[in-house]
Structure 1
């Protein structure tokens, strides 16, 4: 399709360093309202999408509505995580010279393709979708943005999703390569290769643009820091445990196994020691208002530490001029990445491995596996109205299965459980 766009013709306040190719849309559109940049339009489209709203009912680390040992029932969801990631990414990107609306759009959209029940659901759908090429949350995000979320249609009458700019879609690509046998994570399914190739036109194979790198680091920062806050506030983690020799050894071993196999426990132990020695590290937590404030200040301090380190290291290499797209890479010091990895392991050990969690995950995998089977057996009548035409037009069993996977992936946690209960009692 033609890659020119009216957005590129009148970028009234957009920095000139983003050119017409960056602003192009898969299907050209007229500029609907003066005064808004192409990236502001992208941000608005994601912000107002149904896919973003559905993230409110999707698991981040614990199931939405699940009670905690402290009796709280409002843990972070995929939506709150995405909003927090967006705030972090917007400020870090802007500090480096990236367009803040572009980075915020990428952060808001980066998890849109995640299915019910978080990464556990992703693994279940990958198994269920083997015969049509597997399932990957990041590839599903691109598919949703360029096909499934209803907004714009091409001259041939087919949906092109939100029809974001090329730079906007490229910034979402955490893994900028199509499905490959040697890569577990990837950014596009085979059937979405045409739009993926259009997005990546002119880019070095496998290289992420700077905005995507900022999004990815903001995702890591938000995940590691905010989930630590949730673990403490819910009383699943007493921070004193991190100073116990036995707990420390198990935590560091887990960090090596799951997040940093390139490290030894001693190097990660130094990272943990640096965190524990921070002036703002919360000494304890009893649920009081002062303790909540200390914990929130620690959260802010950690985010500032991780983002400023990346900003300063990047500036040290590239200077003070604005950098964007493929003119630079985000530099995150190794010691900072190790500190972030240790915090991820804290969540994995004290929240994800909580008592009863594996039994719950097994149930969730069963629900999604059976949902795929039940919907496929009753298609197209059992499919959502927005997907029935896709199923009817599909010319292979694999293509029809992909449509079923699209529906299951779109469900919230509660919707998946409810639909499964309805279909299994018929």
Structure 2
């Protein structure tokens, strides 16, 4: 950890010295790995809702938000290590990056942003910071200023929190709707970002972000193929590829034009490692696994080579460099995400709309019966809130903590449908 300073290893609330000989970043990783918030991701949507019909009939289980986070962590740990980053630090950031995601994944984010419009909105990345520094009950600061005995969540190091922040700015400075800090969490964000240029992300956060994109794009494609949402024959059709490319431009890469993306898509699919079909047999499963591992290697090595070409072989940590990802690989990654969006999200919009409606209605049911409809951890926050916005935030925090199944069950119970 010679490239990290005492400033990087500092925790928001000071802690007594520990007896066991572990690094600060090893402790960070362990704290995230053992957290209840991380475990709950096992029952939150990635491609298909856990326990849904889409998963029940498959021999190979589809991914959840937890398995995605674990795979992101594996990709990030190895990529970060290749640059000289502390691998435990990068892994802790990757494990943390989705820890604030609500029921039904990004679809749930959309619904809760509507619910939370009077208390600053909802954003999964901002919620992750809130979980790590407030909602996951592991550490409390001592009484007295500046923290006055409040919960400090997992009390991770400054470097670990910084590495987990994709969008280290408040809603007032949101970029394309993305932000990473709620107004009432600006105190900890200010501490994390002490001495840093506004809007700049540390190198470890950039590694985490690209690892997330790589794992997300490749593994969601694999799950969509296994679940039968798409097949390789459809991807071979130029007309279908054009539709996918249009979706990718709309959602992920609005700086590209259709012709450029279609050309990149055709070139990627022409690579020899793409299987002709997937039929669930052992050989096709092996071919699919070979595809995913080859694509991950393609994306990571491209970033490693381009970054090393600029900065040389010296260790790259914190604010010493920026991760360089070639445009070709960024577009390929966007295309793979576009495949899942086009064939899974858009084609299942009716079900997704029902999920959003359920969360909005659940928020109203909880509000009507609050504080009794809140779990004890969120009930105390509701009762201690100084205004309606604070009480609404407690309700939103409660809903965001739920799994897909527990959100449905709570809605049915409060609506009298049990």
TM (norm. structure 1) is 0.94
Matched, 1:397 2:388: yes
Q: Which residue of 1 aligns with 2:402?
A: 411
Q: CA RMSD in A?
A: 1.4
| Structure 1 residues 161-310: aligned runs within 5 Å | 161-180=153-172, 182-183=174-175, 184-310=177-303
Give 1:181 deviation, angstroms.
5.6
Give 1:33 deviation, angstroms.
3.2
* Between 252-261 and 330-339, the greater mean CA deviation after superposition: 252-261
Matched, 1:133 2:133: no
- Return 5+ residue gaps in structure 2 as ranges: 144-148
Which of 311, 314, 319 is the equivalent residue of 2:312? 319
Instruction: Determine helix, strand or coil for the equivalent of 1:228.
Output: helix
Structure 1 stretches of 4+ with a deviation exceeding 6 A read none
Contact 1:43 1:102 in 2 (8 A): yes
- Provide closer, same or farther for how the CA distance between residues 58 and 280 of structure 1 changes in structure 2, counting only shifts above 3 A: same
Instruction: Determine helix, strand or coil for the equivalent of 1:105.
Output: helix
Matched, 1:50 2:8: no
Q: Which residue of 2 aligns with 1:334?
A: 327
Q: Which residue of 2 aligns with 1:81?
A: 68
Contact 1:70 1:235 in 2 (8 A): no
Matched, 1:65 2:61: no
Distance 1:82 1:129 in 2: 26
TM (norm. structure 2) is 0.96
- Return 5+ residue gaps in structure 1 as ranges: 1-14
Q: Aligned pair count?
A: 410
Q: Deviations over 1:357-387 (max 9, x none)?
A: 2221121112111111111221222211112
Give 1:245 deviation, angstroms.
2.2
Q: Which residue of 1 aligns with 2:85?
A: 98
Q: Which residue of 2 aligns with 1:120?
A: 107
Contact 2:169 2:199 in 1 (8 A): yes
Distance 1:331 1:295 in 2: 28
Which of 339, 345, 363 is the equivalent residue of 1:346? 339
- Provide closer, same or farther for how the CA distance between residues 374 and 289 of structure 1 changes in structure 2, counting only shifts above 3 A: same
Which structure would you say has the larger RCO, counting Cα contacts within 8 Å and 6 or more residues apart? Answer: 2
